[in-house]
Structure 1
Amino acid sequence: MQKNTNNQVASGWDVYRRLLGYVRGHWPMFILAFCGFALYATSQTAAAKWLEHFIDAVENGNLDYRLWLALAIIGIFLVRGIGTLLGNYGFSYVARAVVSRLRCQMFDHLLVLPCAFYQQHTSAELLSRLTYNVEQVTGAATDALKTAVREGLTVVGLFGYMLYLNWKLTMLFVVVAPLVGAVVALASKRLRRLSHGIQDSVGDISSAASEAIKGYQVVRIFGGAEAERTRFNRVSERNRRQFMKMVVTQSITTPVVQMLVAGVVALLTYIAMSPALVASMTTGQFIAFISAASLMAKPIRQLTEINSTVQKGIAAAESFFALFDVLPERNAGLETLTVAQGRIEFNSVSFTYPQSEEPALKQVSFCIEPGETVALVGRSGSGKTTLAGLLPRFYDVVDGEILLDDRPLSHYTLDSLRNQIALVNQHVVLFEGSIAENIAYGALAGASDEAIRAAADAAMVSEFADRLPQGLNTLVGENGLLLSGGQRQRIAIARALLKDAPLLILDEATSALDTESERFIQTALEHVVRGRTTLVIAHRLSTIERADRILVMENGVIIEQGNHTELLAQGGSYARLYNMQFNQ
């Protein structure tokens, strides 16, 4: 049991040491803060020394010192003020710099993590790490250090002054140190465990709120308000209980440490007032010694209280660094793909999702020639979207091989490979900004107004945008909530048209369009796919009748292939799906 405890302590120290590494880049400001709090600690010790001189001056009748004693008070508080200003500013500067660096590093890392990671973690959980956890980490990296430096230097200064006055009495403080350490170590384990619980509960709160807010229409139509209220109250109550447990632990630890220190001060007072010791010290020295011992109680208490902050920070850092330690997408390819010819070949490709035991694809083999349009059809869950997701390497195949222009996909760099692919998803993603900014998104941001307008015209975006007050400059709202589903999908198609890539993936690209819009879009797409290798996923079979070849999938296997006329003539699975849709 003891071995596990030691491992946990070592692990906590390793995490904290890694966390302090983020402070290293700000040494000048950190040194400024250190010097500031050194001045603060000096003023505390100087106050005790001033008391010694004051009492001795009164006792000996040296009233001529009153001017110097009065000026000394001003000097002590001036030094303390300057020290506090420099210390607080320096550590605050470092704290916000660390927050910014951690958040940016986490966001950068999120952008390159594999798709499987996002399937295992909710967006609310990741946002919680990005906001709440970062603040907790910063508290441990800077706020705790701020208190440790300020109060630690104060304790060192007062302790040194007490040693100077009477080293024998001062050594009594050394006796209580192991007891204080034992109390703090005992509390640390519980505080870190409770901190993990609080962080998890914050993620649950974010998730519950996010889902209820995004799905407000479904919540109201299906009477889910009470269920969502109950769910949110439950996770909020869990957060409250976890937090109160931490408060209780911290509230018990601090008084225990205070009582230990008070006990030492009481013992010091009792021993110091013995006739032999009183005779060896002046009245001023005696009172200054007791005052210095009393002044140590506050910084010692604050030093024990930072344990809570440190443990919360370590718990947050553990989740943070666990994310940093997740390997990014494999990008071992060395070849840069400039312009793809467009020949795609699947050779005995099998794929299983990380959290699943059932293969999504089983020994799939087929070839798409440059400029050919191939459609994938089949029931939901047959493997169509999975197959299309392997082409831009959202997932890497484990068994089999995918070739592009007769070279394995893994030989190309990810950026150069994805530069050759345009994608329209069934679930359209739009970003805050205007319609034009969403069409010319990312690497397309430098496109001319004429090119954006041409793509908008071809995708029938202009048909509704021109009726809006600001046209293509109209803001779309969060994820395009100000637009209809069909309008959002047309913007996604315009984005793909503007990219003008040699490979095109259309995943239910017309699923949210009305019949009239679909007819216009189909005409536009027929022009777009010319000269491009196109992979089309469709449930509405009317949209793929003109495809060069149709692959029918079922349970991860291609069971039929041919053009529309050939498959109807076979009277197989495709014919049954077609007749079912058109009631034939």
Structure 2
Amino acid sequence: MIKVLKNLSPYKWIVWGVVALVFAQSMAELFLPTLMADIIDNGVVKGNIPYIWEIGGWMLLVSAIGAVASVFASFYSSKAAMGLGRDLRQKVFKHVGQFSLQEFDEVGTASLITRTTNDINQIQQVTIMMLRMVISAPIMLVGGIIMAVSKDAKLSLVIIGAMPVLVIAVMLILKYGIPLFQQVQKRLDGLNLVVRENLTGIRVIRAFNRETEEKARLQKANRELADVSIRVNKVMAFMMPTMMLVMNMTVVAVIWFGGIRISNGAMQIGDLMAFIQYVMMIMFALLMASFMFVMIPRAAVSAKRINEVLEMQPAFKDDGTAKADRNRGTLEFDNVTFHYPGAEEPALSNISFTAKPGEITALIGGTGSGKTTLVNLVPRFYEATSGTIRVNGVDIREASQQEIRSKIGFVPQKSILFTGTIAENIRFGKQDASDEEMKRAASTAQATEFIDQIKGGYAAPIEQGGSNLSGGQKQRLSIARALIRKPDLYIFDDSFSALDFKTDAKLRKALKDETKNATVLLVAQRVSTVVDADRIIVLEKGKMVGMGTHKELLESNNVYREIALSQLSEEEIA
């Protein structure tokens, strides 16, 4: 928690201002009972009307000072807490942006969303309470005790008798509450995971009539969260009645013993009323402290989860400063091997090949053969376990990730589009691209034909995830986004799978002219897509089992021939 609160340093003057305002508010509240005692003993009892008006005026002034201080303290404490939350979100987002895919796999997207939203909200709320209560409660407690003792030291023994009960209640709450708060956040992660999977996979769920099972799954996650939350609230519900019972019993005891002291002439009526007010202040101070003891552990759990993300170091960092422009457009794999964390067998083993500008290098193989894994190593989404990958003649570990990725036009296996317009999504690859460049990229990607038919054209809106477009349309826009960059290396990760054969053929023909000065790395399932490639690499279980042209592989490679026979007739192969 302390590590997180260190982020309040930019707001230190606001925090000190809140401290001063809360101090002024507390002093005003502590002074009011004394003025009340004075107005009763020297004004009301003696019938001194002018004195009542005079002291009453001072009470109004002190109350106004306390009210103004309270308003500004609330405003500035909220400003500091909201600023802390904003800074933490930016810090977490920036840090997570440096993660490799390995860290995303380890933490989980649902958990990262929960930590960035719910956990930081918990910290914000507790920060506001801390800025107000952590300062106010001790002042009210100590000040209330001092003022109560000054009114009647013997009657103050009643307060001492009540405190052990309150302390025991708070300790019990802490003992049973903290583990439950940890469970709440974990169960919230689980609920977010189920909700996220259901919303993103709604088409599959409906297609397979799995609504009932998914509802049951959600109800289970929801019930688990509800059960823990109910247990937490039961613990907290125990606190309030206990505090109020002790508080009211203490007031009854004060009135009882105070009445005896007044009848004996050892205490005045005004002092007893002031004493009761100070007892209430002391009890409320303890009540605020108990609330803090309940809320801080929960915030501490959230702070720990935030710190886990901020302290998590990426599997690899930018250590190099080399410029990737020695041999433009070249891609080289030199004996590359890659293990996924925790996997027994390597996903790729001893991969070696060289691709040059103007050439199309295709990757083909069965499901799980390592095609997507291989292309994910090039932009350094994962770090190769051993071996060397060179882009433009430079080891990708010797150049920054930004430098390497600026040379690549990447079209992922799953087309990802962003909310905005068609133009904005194409220009995602190059923000300062002209209209002419944008239209040329769209034309090459065979996207013009459907863009011209959509109302609004390039200004037509795209919904979240491109849900208002077909799979083929999304793929073509993803390809246009890569083409507009005019990079040295194009990576197409099974990017033509949603296209019909006619569009596929037209696109590959248009790409030849557009990419003639660049290297193309092409992952495909269709033999028809790779048939014209300059080099076809055949993968099986993460190993290269063949490399050559379509004709060469048909003659010499059984794996490739099996793939070709499963898709093409003997006449087409011949």
TM-score bucket of the superposed structures, by smaller chain: over 0.9
Cα distance in 2 for partners of 1:417, 1:399 equals: 19
The answer to whether 1:302 aligns with 2:311 is no
- Report what 1:326 is aligned to: 312
- Report what 1:98 is aligned to: 84
SS at match of 1:410: coil
Cα distance in 2 for partners of 1:291, 1:203 equals: 45
Give 2:568's aligned amino acid.
F
- Report what 2:543 is aligned to: 557
Give 1:399's aligned amino acid.
S
The answer to whether 1:138 aligns with 2:119 is no
| CA displacement at 1:176 relative to structure 2 | 5.5
SS at match of 1:511: coil
| CA displacement at 1:353 relative to structure 2 | 0.6
SS at match of 1:395: coil
- Give the percent of matched residue pairs that are identical in Structure 1 and Structure 2: 26
Map 1:101-120; keep pairs closer than 5 Å. 101-120=87-106
Cα distance in 1 for partners of 2:288, 2:87 equals: 28
Does the 8 Å CA contact 1:337/1:413 hold for their aligned counterparts? no
- Report what 1:12 is aligned to: none
Cα distance in 1 for partners of 2:196, 2:554 equals: 46
* Alignment equivalent of 2:5, drawn from 20, 37, 42: 20
Does the 8 Å CA contact 1:195/1:316 hold for their aligned counterparts? no
Cα distance in 2 for partners of 1:251, 1:450 equals: 66
- Report what 1:35 is aligned to: 20
Give 2:31's aligned amino acid.
A
Cα distance in 2 for partners of 1:516, 1:407 equals: 38
- Report what 1:55 is aligned to: 40
| CA displacement at 1:298 relative to structure 2 | 2.4
Cα distance in 1 for partners of 2:205, 2:355 equals: 45
Q: What is the total number of aligned residue pairs between the two structures?
A: 568
SS at match of 2:440: helix
Give 2:79's aligned amino acid.
Y
Give 2:98's aligned amino acid.
V
- Report what 1:384 is aligned to: 371
| CA displacement at 1:406 relative to structure 2 | 4.2
| CA displacement at 1:507 relative to structure 2 | 0.6
Does the 8 Å CA contact 2:324/2:392 hold for their aligned counterparts? no
- Report what 2:450 is aligned to: 464
Cα distance in 1 for partners of 2:239, 2:233 equals: 10
Does the 8 Å CA contact 1:502/1:532 hold for their aligned counterparts? yes
Residue by residue over 1:467-497, the C-alpha shift from the partner in whole angstroms, topping out at 9 and shown as x without a partner, is 1121111111111111110010000111111
- Report what 1:124 is aligned to: 110
- Report what 1:481 is aligned to: 467
SS at match of 1:441: helix
SS at match of 2:389: strand
Map 1:312-461; keep pairs closer than 5 Å. 312-328=298-314, 329-338=316-325, 341-441=328-428, 444-461=430-447
| CA displacement at 1:281 relative to structure 2 | 4.1
Distance change >3 Å, CA 525–CA 115, structure 1 → 2? same
Deviates more, 1:109-118 or 1:255-264: 255-264
Deviates more, 1:73-82 or 1:476-485: 73-82
Cα distance in 1 for partners of 2:482, 2:49 equals: 89
Distance change >3 Å, CA 172–CA 371, structure 1 → 2? farther
SS at match of 1:197: helix
The answer to whether 1:154 aligns with 2:140 is yes
Task: Give unpaired runs (5+ residues) of structure 1.
Answer: 1-15
TM-score, structure 2 normalization: 0.93
Give 1:83's aligned amino acid.
A
Cα distance in 1 for partners of 2:376, 2:252 equals: 73
Distance change >3 Å, CA 106–CA 450, structure 1 → 2? same
Cα distance in 2 for partners of 1:327, 1:121 equals: 12
- Report what 1:4 is aligned to: none
Cα distance in 2 for partners of 1:157, 1:275 equals: 23
Cα distance in 1 for partners of 2:150, 2:327 equals: 80
Supply the RMSD in Å over aligned alpha carbons: 2.3
Deviates more, 1:405-414 or 1:83-92: 405-414
Cα distance in 2 for partners of 1:196, 1:461 equals: 50
The answer to whether 1:526 aligns with 2:512 is yes
Task: Give unpaired runs (5+ residues) of structure 2.
Answer: none
| CA displacement at 1:72 relative to structure 2 | 2.9
Residue by residue over 1:203-236, the C-alpha shift from the partner in whole angstroms, topping out at 9 and shown as x without a partner, is 2222222222222222223211111211111111
Residue by residue over 1:495-520, the C-alpha shift from the partner in whole angstroms, topping out at 9 and shown as x without a partner, is 11111111111111211111221121
Cα distance in 2 for partners of 1:69, 1:419 equals: 75
| CA displacement at 1:272 relative to structure 2 | 5.1
Does the 8 Å CA contact 1:95/1:143 hold for their aligned counterparts? no
